[in-house]
Amino acid sequence: MTPAARSAWLRTLGLTVVGLAITGALGVAVGQFWPVLALGAVAMLGWQHWRLGRVLHRLGGRRWPTLTAKPGAWSELDRLHDRDQRERRVRKRRLLEMLRAYRAAAAALPDAVVVVERNSQRIRWFNQAAATLLGLRYPADVGAPLVPRLRPLPLAQWLASGRHADTLEVASPVNPATRLSLRLIPYSENLWLLVARDVTRLLQLEQMRRDFVANVSHELRTPLTVIHGYLDMIDPDEHSGLAPVLGEMQRQSQRMARLVEDLLALSRLEAADGAPLEERVAMDAMLDTLRREGLALGQDRHRIRVENTADVDLWGSVTELHSAFSNLVANAVRHTPEGGEVLIRFRREDPRGDGQAGEPGGAVLEVIDSGIGIAAEHLPRITERFYRVSNSRSRTSGGTGLGLAIVKHVLQRHHARLEVRSRIGDGSMFSCHFTAARVRPRERDASHTAPSEAMP
């Protein structure tokens, strides 16, 4: 009890006692003690009830004048109630202001924001950008089911994956030239936020970058071939003083030619994104090709072993997979000292194998070397374009810095996963994990169409 409330209560108690004492004295004076006392008590009770009635009325929401002027518990109760009401009104106003500010901010966002009820998948609220980008109409679409309302967009399956949904890239239902990136954000038990961002400009810039790299690489190809041709025509014996210079020029022009070819290979992969990969990749023949190419690259100075226990073939693009696998074999040979060993192994996925979760029915191609290995801090970045553990070593060994980027891209296109394990001095293991969807029973008489691309 607050001090004010306690003193108010004591005052009321005091008034009651004094009132009863006065009525008692009056009763004694007129010789009717009990009747007068009873009358006084009834009057006081009646007064308290009247005050109680007024407070209850106010608590019931009626606006009666406040009785703060009069002392006593009822007045204090009334005053406290009044203060409580005022505080609540102020709090409510503040909350409303905050809510309005948040709504205004969400409404002003350039991204479309739609609040969706999770269970019913109905639209509860959306901002102005949702009207522009998704074509929603206010108020007609508030309460409308989201999937049928945005029918041209393939939302049903996407929403079904809920909190695990990846971003979805689609054309805007209002203007097919506008590309939207959709994200689903669960933000309470029952509500989802559907956010649609206009990524048209971003995709255009990305396309411009790809076109630029592809065009420059293409344009460099012819002059490089000419330079190469002329360098080949010069006989070092006739210009003995220039022999080291000519040798270096040849090496550098070959390096540039390899760079251009790798850049073109990456451009082709990016351009082919989404194109179907529907070829049988006969693995016996593929492994044989990889072994021969590895031996040729290492000039027979490494032991290259092939192991095939999978008894299946892969399904995808022969050229792309050959390019990826041969990059891994080339890396293994280049980063393994003479006399070292490279194992190219193709096996079925073992779900329990060495603690890694593998998909039942899948298959793995592994390239294992006994070479120099890679320090742990480099592993997360080695598939980035032009990332090299050691610049000088990569250049002298003929690397372009694009090999593993090509591998990653090819595997992504095949919905496969690259796993790298390595330790300095112990060698490296690059594993390409393919899901069951990319595995086919082996055809005994299938012959592997030798890919036209040379090994990098």
Q: Which residues are near ligand ADP by CB under 6 A? A: 327, 331-332, 335, 369, 371-372, 374, 382, 387-390, 394, 399-405, 428
Residue closer to ligand ADP by CB (options 331, 431) is 331
Both tokens assigned to 66:
């406040």
Q: 271 CB contacts (<8 Å, ≥6 apart)?
A: 210, 214
| Residue tagged 């891209």 (tokens) | 409
Write down the least CB distance from residue 328 to ligand ADP, Å. 7
- Report the number of secondary-structure helices (H) and strands (E) in the chain: 12, 13
Question: Among residues 105, 100, 139, which one has the least CA distance to residue 123?
Answer: 139
Residue closer to ligand ADP by CB (options 269, 382) is 382
Write down the least CB distance from residue 444 to ligand ADP, Å. 33
Residue closer to ligand ADP by CB (options 150, 402) is 402
Residue closer to ligand ADP by CB (options 40, 340) is 340
Residue 13 CA: distances (Å) to CA of 20, 24, 44, 75: 11, 16, 11, 14
Write down the least CB distance from residue 430 to ligand ADP, Å. 7
Residue closer to ligand ADP by CB (options 184, 342) is 342
Write down the least CB distance from residue 385 to ligand ADP, Å. 8
Q: How far is it, in rounded angstroms, from Cα 389 to Cα 422? A: 13
Q: Parallel, antiparallel, or unpaired for β 341-348 and 303-308?
A: parallel
**What is the four-CA torsion angle of 416, 422, 426, 428, rounded to 10 degrees?**
30
Residue closer to ligand ADP by CB (options 175, 390) is 390
Q: How far is it, in rounded angstroms, from Cα 166 to Cα 430? A: 27
Write down the least CB distance from residue 404 to ligand ADP, Å. 3
Q: How far is it, in rounded angstroms, from Cα 281 to Cα 440? A: 9
Residue closer to ligand ADP by CB (options 5, 213) is 213
Write down the least CB distance from residue 212 to ligand ADP, Å. 21
Write down the least CB distance from residue 356 to ligand ADP, Å. 19
Both tokens assigned to 219:
């344009």
Residue closer to ligand ADP by CB (options 427, 451) is 427
Residue 447 CA: distances (Å) to CA of 286, 319, 321, 366, 452: 9, 14, 15, 22, 15
Write down the least CB distance from residue 146 to ligand ADP, Å. 44
CA atoms in the 13 A half-sphere facing the CB of 264: 15
Residue closer to ligand ADP by CB (options 298, 371) is 371
Write down the least CB distance from residue 343 to ligand ADP, Å. 12
Q: How far is it, in rounded angstroms, from Cα 175 to Cα 112? A: 14
Q: How far is it, in rounded angstroms, from Cα 53 to Cα 49? A: 6
